[in-house]
Amino acid sequence: MTSQRTRDRLVRRLGEQGVSDSRVLAAIAQTPRHLFVDEALAHRAYEDTALPIGSGQTISQPFVVGLMTELLMVNSPRKILEIGTGCGYQTTVLAELCDLVWTIERIPELSKRARVAWRKLGLRNVHAKLGDGYKGWPDLAPFDAIMVTAAAPDVPQVLVSQLAEGGRLVIPVGDEQQSLWVIDKTAEGISSTKHDAVHFVPMLPGVRRHTDAG
């Protein structure tokens, strides 16, 4: 159920679907997704599907994780900001590929759950906090890359401002109809590219203090 062979089968499927960066595929192969879902759903951890993680949130479909990570890693960023830690799975994939990941979550139960998984894995290059993702992490900016794992109605300009020159933002944008957008910040200015249709939970401001147990 949680063997390396099962993970490898998922990775082969992602490659067949179009995730082509060998670094990204290797990171997904090394990341034990079953540690980030409820025990009752562990037998489904290596299906290519989103799964509930409590608090009205989901762990993203592995193909979407692969796609977004591949788009983010084009310029081999070393310092990444993630908006929306969730259960910490996407964070862990990113941590396999860069020097430092700084990640923000607004739901305390999910942030705690992610930290437990990271301790089990001995992960040391992730720094997490509770906070409002719309504000980013200005004290630590600029970042080489920023990934947002919830859908915003439009691109938050404060996040664009926290990109380093040459940096890239990957974000789902839209309400009912969502698309993945890539925002590049260069010496010449800002460029935007629209990619695949996606479906994410909405990006909300503030810190959620009262939630269902996840």
Which residues carry out catalysis?
Answer: 60
Per-residue tokens: 132: 């409002």
Contact criterion met (CB below 8 Å) for 66 and 25? yes
Site of tokens 């964070």: 91
Q: How many CA atoms lie within 13 A of 106 on its CB side?
A: 20
d(CA 53, CA 18): 26
| Strand (E) or helix (H) holding 190 | strand 189-198
Q: Are 150 and 156 in contact (CB under 8 A)?
A: no
